[in-house]
Structure 1
Amino acid sequence: MTLQLSSLLTIPISFATCSIGCKYEHTLPKKIDAIASAGFQGIELSMPDLLSFANLYLKRQVASNEYDDLCTVAKVVKAMCDTKGLKIMMLQPFSNFEGWPEGSQERKDAFERARGWIRIMEACGTDMLQVGSTDTPANKLTKDRAAKVGDIKELGQMLAQHKFRLAYENWCWSTHAPDWKDVWQVVQEVGLSNVGLCLDTFQTGGGEWADPTTESGLVEDVSSEELQKRFHNSLEELSKTVPSSKIYLLQISDAYKPKQPFSKEPDETGLRPRGRWSHDFRPLPFNGGYLPVVEVAKGVLKTGFRGWFSYEVFDGGPDGKGRDYQLDAFAVTARECHKKLTQECSED
């Protein structure tokens, strides 16, 4: 499939609210203003942003399970987005859901959380929930893979009752589904029309091609030549085996190569190296990163996918310690990055 620029220009673009803002005063309303002004068409509404705004709007600390109040505030957010012409494309990030042992308190809590988030989806007017493949340590989860798949299926069925969709994302540090092939296999086994994929340039490039724990910043279990071949073949397989209809969005970000290799061990919170890398070292494309963002995007586009490109970055600077910027300027930079990415992907 030749990637023609005319078709790429039809791609709708979104910005995750968690991806912009570096100061306390960068509130959700200000983020929404900046995203809309830069010409984006939608947002991913991030739960931490909704909680922060709820604290401001209701003038008290709102707990993550106070769903009545969160739904009230979600309706306010919807009204703000409607005024700005923005679609709330997705609610995110729903994490550590699947795989808890049957009868455990954790499993009960996970499904209670699911019911609460569905209420928030109804209130804010979105029809899609992003679910990240769990990174809960394996010793806390069931060993039964079918049970993990069954949990995703049950959640998909819950969402289907409201005509909602589930976008399942491979987190490259996940316990059981770190690669696109893993989540695609789960989606196939689930077999529901409303369960598809959230693909991500960082999760694919940062999982299969790059490694923050090595001196080179690359996966080093094979030669560089073999790595390039293996990665190319993976993207080729993606483009030929995943139907475009089962890709619900492509999230876009790059990654800085760490100045010093990360420890291969989990940190004090149990977060694995790629998880730590993800949290603070993900700039916009063409802004100092080194991942093969264009190659991943082209692999996805060759499926025929022309749905949402959504920018989800966590730019703490090359050292991961944070950086200062203006909201409006950052949103405009993201918009310009999308123009360049579109041009780079074009094969006209």
Structure 2
Amino acid sequence: MDLLRSLPIGSYLEQPVTWLHKIDPRVKLVWLMTFLIAPLLGNPLWRIGLAASLIVLTIVAGIPFRAWSKQMGWLLLLCLFMFLFACVAPDSLGAKPQPRVPEFCADVATVSSTAEKPSKQLECKSQLPQPTSYRYVYFDQPKFVFIPRLVVTRRSLDVAVRVSTLIFTLIYSTSLYLLTTAPEEITAGLEDLMSPLRRFNLPISEITLTLTLSLRFIPLVLEEVQNLVRSIRTRAIDWKKLGIRRSTQLWLIVSEKLLENLLLRAEQIATAMDVRGFTTPNEHRVQWHQLRLRWRDWLALGILIPFWCARWFVGGV
């Protein structure tokens, strides 16, 4: 089990350097916010298109298959489970509807054997004839032995598409941004975008420094979890003999050890910064990257105009 390789959450891919790496971090941050906001109040077709565009963008960018295959596979599996679960879930309250209109009755001419003229009778139907092919219930599987009744309605299908695509877009767009943008670039771009807030005496430098340390700390957390899992596997613990109580106690000990190791790592980072004479972010500012907008950045910003036009006319509400 290698969490750093199988699920590179928050990890930066240094090699190979793709064209997505070369885009300005501020432009990529704007596009990230676009992918997070665009699905809101969008129709199902638009949401599916956004999720598909992220997959196409990953392939077109030339990112190695090993860097995103397992993560996308697990994420697609999770979204598929959420889609199937929401499809068969009840879409409203479990109330039995009552008809609000009288039954559809039509005059039917009947011929009596004793009468010369045909008499008219009312033939009533429980449902009105539908003028279109509209159906609210797409699938209705009655209960069979241990299998419960499965009903897929128009509303439940719409909710399933919304939930699954929103989870995929939210998680994968953020992961793709972290995969192609260095932590120093992210903090430099955020500090540049939030620089007007200095007029309100907000600690922008402290916020960006905290964000940088947090992004650097994510791989350390995964590494500590990985080491603890490997240490438990090497001991070949028989969980069935331990029982629920002892297994819970063992996991509490492991969690306590994980927290202790993380606090030790944080203390080591603080000691290293203190030894190097670090006092405040304003006095120890290091310019890691020169933020300049190039032609590819202006092209990426220009694509935002037709994107939001398509969102307005195609995405719907």
Q: Identify whether the pair has TM-score above 0.5, normalized to the shorter chain.
A: no
Q: Which TM-score tier does this pair reach, normalised by the shorter chain?
A: under 0.3
Q: Relative CO higher for 1 or 2, CA cutoff 8 Å, sep ≥ 6?
A: 2
Bigger radius of gyration: 2
Name whichever structure is richer in strand by fraction. Answer: 1
Q: Which one has a larger percent helix, Structure 1 or Structure 2?
A: 2
